[in-house]
């Protein structure tokens, strides 16, 4: 009796997978496959899941991107002139992918780089809205990995002593992720410090070229009385983690150098605004010029009316300097003198009468 064909549902259902960031049709051909297959591809977390069609609930293949090395455009022509090819290089081989269009290929590259590097790529031709989607994916993936690490990581007695003395080449990555980092960024150094697999020790991962990449891993344990030990055939005691790195640099005559990866920072201030009419969101770049300040108002003069009133009551007659032609410039104080109030005018007339009477009595 012939055996029944195997069921295509070989993977977990979609409900149990990480969140899906992007999906669409891709033609996939592995290193051992002679013919490419058109599969519905979903990027869930940092893994590609392949389905026979979009309605399937169980995937037929998956590809973990933790072994990602590079992603290169393939300029060769496809039978479909609108299609665009790219080569996905992993640590265990190369996979050829074909997107239905150039735009779809750029989007796939953007999402793949975002989940692998946890940073939005800056060398791709993408629209502002697409770049905004990639930023959201980066934040979601960071939160997903952080939650996953906190739920799975064992308690480490080194967590507190490491505070304040962690070298710049320390990276909270796994063994495979450390190898990928060193291979992808050879100009940034070839030695990094990372947590050990058991959670109670550290490890140093190194990479050198010898007809290809050669990786080495060294365990670093903490002594009960303080300090650290590089666990090799002849253990090397070191007072601090900085001394661990310096010891490896000295032992190899400078061949090993700490891995220092410059994190990218934005050069311009950008913000997202939505259109009130159609609701479309657009990324804008803030102006880079100096902020212009509004001209400040002159200080308000207090007590000007009282001062002008007193000056008029004390003067027996208006000063010639107080009168100026209507077209000549004058300050606010002089304008008040030119138009005296009725009260000040009556006091002036009364004073004139008294002076006139006194002059008459003297005669």
Last residue of a domain, one of 266, 285, 304: 285
Q: Is residue 242 part of a domain?
A: yes
pLDDT, greater one: 159 or 48: 48
Q: Please tell me whether residues 54 and 113 are part of one structural domain.
A: yes
What is the Cα–Cα distance from 129 to 132, expressed in whole angstroms? 5
Q: Please tell me whether residues 29 and 132 are part of one structural domain.
A: yes
Give all strands (DSSP E) within 210-355, no chain letters.
213-222, 228-231, 236-238, 270-274, 281-285
Q: Does residue 91 carry a pLDDT above 90?
A: no
Q: Is residue 65 part of a domain?
A: yes
What is the Cα–Cα distance from 25 to 177, expressed in whole angstroms? 28
DSSP class of 260: -
Q: Please tell me whether residues 200 and 248 are part of one structural domain.
A: yes
Q: Please tell me whether residues 132 and 197 are part of one structural domain.
A: no
pTM here is 0.43
For the residues 176-182, what does the mean pLDDT come to? 92
pLDDT, greater one: 40 or 15: 40
What is the Cα–Cα distance from 29 to 107, expressed in whole angstroms? 20
| Assigned token pair, 350 | 């009364």
Pairing of strands 84-90, 236-238: unpaired
Q: Which domain holds residue 265?
A: 175-285
Q: Please tell me whether residues 131 and 242 are part of one structural domain.
A: no
What is the Cα–Cα distance from 270 to 104, expressed in whole angstroms? 25
Cβ 148 vs Cβ 142: under 8 Å = no
Q: Is residue 184 part of a domain?
A: yes
> Is 230 exposed, middle or buried (CB count within 10 Å of its CB: 0-12, 13-18, 19+)?
buried
Lowest mean pLDDT: which of 99-103, 108-112, 237-241, 287-291? 287-291
| Assigned token pair, 59 | 């995937």
CATH code of residue 35 = 2.30.29.30
Question: What's residue 293's pLDDT?
Answer: 59
The alpha carbon dihedral of 284, 289, 290, 296 has a sign of: negative
Give the model confidence (pLDDT) of 214-245 as tens digits.
999 999 998 888 889 999 999 999 988 999 99
Q: Please tell me whether residues 140 and 211 are part of one structural domain.
A: no
- For a pLDDT cut of 90, what percent of the chain falls above it? 38
CATH code of residue 271 = 3.30.505.10
Contacts 24+ apart (CB under 8 A), 264-268: 264/119, 264/122
Q: Please tell me whether residues 139 and 74 are part of one structural domain.
A: yes
Q: How many domains does the chain have?
A: 2
Q: Is residue 139 part of a domain?
A: yes
What is the Cα–Cα distance from 335 to 279, expressed in whole angstroms? 57
Question: What's residue 17's pLDDT?
Answer: 85
Q: Is residue 89 part of a domain?
A: yes
Question: What's residue 325's pLDDT?
Answer: 45
Question: What's residue 236's pLDDT?
Answer: 94
Q: Please tell me whether residues 35 and 78 are part of one structural domain.
A: yes
Question: Using DSSP, how many helices (H) and how many strands (E) does the chain show?
Answer: 7, 14
Q: Please tell me whether residues 275 and 234 are part of one structural domain.
A: yes
DSSP class of 262: P
Q: Is residue 281 part of a domain?
A: yes
Lowest mean pLDDT: which of 15-29, 140-154, 216-230? 140-154
Last residue of a domain, one of 115, 150, 185: 150
**Bridge-partner residues for 39, per DSSP?**
26
- For a pLDDT cut of 70, what percent of the chain falls above it? 74
Helix, strand or coil, per DSSP, at residue 180: helix
Q: Is residue 159 part of a domain?
A: no
Q: Is residue 294 part of a domain?
A: no
Cβ 117 vs Cβ 65: under 8 Å = no
Last residue of a domain, one of 285, 300, 323: 285
Q: Does residue 67 carry a pLDDT above 90?
A: no
What is the strand order of the sheet 37-44 is part of? 61-64, 47-51, 37-44, 20-29, 93-99, 84-90, 68-74
């Amino acid at each position: 009796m012939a055996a029944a064909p195997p069921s295509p549902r070989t993977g977990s259902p979609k409900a149990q997978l990480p969140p899906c960031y992007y999906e669409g049709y891709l033609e996939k051909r592995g290193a051992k496959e002679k013919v490419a297959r058109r599969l519905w591809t979903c990027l869930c977390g940092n893994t590609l899941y392949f389905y026979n069609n979009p309605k399937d609930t169980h995937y037929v293949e998956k590809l973990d991107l933790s072994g990602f090395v590079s992603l290169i455009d393939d300029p060769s022509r496809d039978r479909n002139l609108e299609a665009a090819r790219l080569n996905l290089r992993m640590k265990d081989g190369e996979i050829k992918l074909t997107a239905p269009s150039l735009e779809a290929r750029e989007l796939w590259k953007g999402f793949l780089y975002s989940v692998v590097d946890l940073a939005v790529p800056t060398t791709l031709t993408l629209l502002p809205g697409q770049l905004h989607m990639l930023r959201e994916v980066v934040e979601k993936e960071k939160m997903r990995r952080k939650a996953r690490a906190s739920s799975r990581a064992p308690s480490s007695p080194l967590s507190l002593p490491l505070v304040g003395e962690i070298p710049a080449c320390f990276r909270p990555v796994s063994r495979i992720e450390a190898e990928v980092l060193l291979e992808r960024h050879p100009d940034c150094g070839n030695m990094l410090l990372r947590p050990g697999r058991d959670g109670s020790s550290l490890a140093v991962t190194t990479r050198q070229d010898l007809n290809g990449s050669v990786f080495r891993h060294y365990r670093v344990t903490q002594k009960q009385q303080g300090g650290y030990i590089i666990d090799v055939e002849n253990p090397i005691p070191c007072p601090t983690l900085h001394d661990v790195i310096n010891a490896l640099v000295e032992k190899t005559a400078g061949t090993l150098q700490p891995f220092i990866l410059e994190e990218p920072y934005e050069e311009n201030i950008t913000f997202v605004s939505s259109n009130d009419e159609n609701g479309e969101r657009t990324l804008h770049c803030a102006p880079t010029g100096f902020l212009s300040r509004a001209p400040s108002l002159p200080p308000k003069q207090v007590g000007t009316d009282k001062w002008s009133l007193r000056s008029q009551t004390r003067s027996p007659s208006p000063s010639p300097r107080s009168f100026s032609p209507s077209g000549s410039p004058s300050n606010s104080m002089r304008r008040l003198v030119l138009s005296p109030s009725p009260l000040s005018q009556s006091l002036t007339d009364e004073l004139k009468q008294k002076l006139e009477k006194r002059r008459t009595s003297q005669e």
